[in-house]
Every structure is written in C-alpha cells, then in structure tokens.
Amino acid sequence: MKPQKEPIHINAKKDDIAPVVLMPGDPLRAKYIAEKFLFDAKLVTSVRNMLGYTGYYKGNKITVMGSGMGLPSMGIYSFELFYYYNVQKIIRIGTCGVINPKVEIPEIIVADKVFSESNFAFSYNGFKGNVLTPSMNLTNKIIERAKMNEQHIHIGTIMTTEVFGPYVDDEALVKRVPDYLDVLGEEMEAFALIHVANSFKREAAAIVTAVDSKFSDKILPVKDREKSLDDMIRLGLDSLI
C-alpha cells in the first residue's frame, strides 16, 4: 500500500525540514536543544506535541525533532521525515541503561550495531534479522569528531527493547542476546530508526548516554547530568555538519 500524499504526524512545510536531523526521544529536549544550540530556531511542527525545530548550527541548517518513546513512535516519525521531507541523515541521541560493567555513568556509547528481539523490521517489510548496522559513514564521522573533541566514548552494540528494562526482568532479556554480541546498553528506539533508514538507503546513527546502571548506585547531580547530555548533543550536531 502506498502512503498517502501528505504526512499525518508532521505538519511542517516541505522546506521547513532540513536535510539533516538530530532526534532525541523527548520533544522537550528538542525544544531545549533548539533554544540553547541553534541560531534563529523556529518551531516547524507540533502535531501531538511532538515538537520539531529548524535553525542553524555553525551556519548549517539543522532540524531537531522528538521521536517519542519506543519503536513504533520512532518508526512513524523517521518514515515521514525520510519519505515526505527527503531527509538524508538522522542521528538519534538519547539515554540508555548500562548492561555491561565497562560502561560507567555518564559515559557515551556510539552504536556500531543494534540488536533487538522486536518484530518491527519483519512487520515493516519482511526483514528477518535481529542485528542492524547503522550508516558506518555517519558513525565514523561521530567517532572522528569525538576524537577531535577529546571525548571518551564507547563503540559497540546497543540493544533496543520493547519494554522499559528497569520495570521487567532485563536479566532474561540479556541472556537471550547472542553470545557473539557484546551489548553495552539498552534503549528503546534505535533499531526502528536504523531499519527505516536502511530501507530508504539513507544514513542514520545512534548515540546514547548512560544514565542508570545495575552495576552502580551512582546518581548524577542535575548539573553533571545536564553537562553529560550537552556533550552528547554537541557531538551529534557537530557530526551532522
């Protein structure tokens, strides 16, 4: 079935969306990024309060838009951005739970693979795999930018779940991950973004910041949490331009 002529969940004009998009899950984080990091930022879409802003970062036009929580929500918004607005690159930025003791709070993980038990990809277009590779061109740009910024990052596999790990038996989830995958953290959106992007032959990547860990009782003060998220935001923005 061919999608209808106009998007349902984004009400921006065609020229209001930039070719590159930074995509946090929380629409209020998109607002925060637009106000703090973009010049001449304008609200361009607000359907269902999923806020999207377009402005300029270091002279480059960029859109920052929320994806919502979970694979279906990310699937909807990334599809509409690629299909209706001809977006070429999307970087997801978000938070994750740590499932490998070598990652500490609030360190950053750059995904070079994304694993999920979800049937999202099969439902989307019959894809039967459970491991996806993001755009390595875009991912390598993120890695190189982190080196330039002298940022410590982890590079590895993240897991996208259909449930919020702290509320379920995530030990059982982790035990079902294939042994050859050294999964570092869990989140809820990256697998959908990477699959939709790969299906459109566009570029997508994922950066996540560790905010909770079963290996640590560390709780970040508000200022430290904000700084760690700002570091991730700058890394994403710098990698898109």
Q: Identify the domain containing residue 46 by its residue range.
A: 14-240
In a domain, 3, yes or no: no
In a domain, 8, yes or no: no
Q: What pLDDT does residue 1 have?
A: 63
The pLDDT tens digits for 228-238 are 899 999 999 99
**Annotation marks residue 212 as catalytic:** yes
CATH of the domain at 71: 3.40.50.1580
| Alpha carbon distance 110, 139 (integer Å) | 7
| Alpha carbon distance 69, 71 (integer Å) | 7
pTM for the full predicted model: 0.96
Q: Is the pLDDT of residue 121 over 90?
A: yes
The pLDDT tens digits for 177-203 are 998 999 999 999 999 999 999 999 999
The pLDDT tens digits for 129-163 are 999 999 999 999 999 999 999 999 999 999 999 99
The count of structural domains within the chain is 1
In a domain, 58, yes or no: yes
Q: Is the pLDDT of residue 223 over 90?
A: no
- Residue from 212, 217, 224, 238 carrying the catalytic annotation: 212
Within 10 angstroms of residue 77's Cβ, the number of other Cβ atoms is 27
> Mean pLDDT across the stretch 89-107?
95
Phi-psi domain of 150 (left: phi exceeds 0; alpha: psi -120 through 50; beta: other): left
In a domain, 7, yes or no: no
In a domain, 84, yes or no: yes
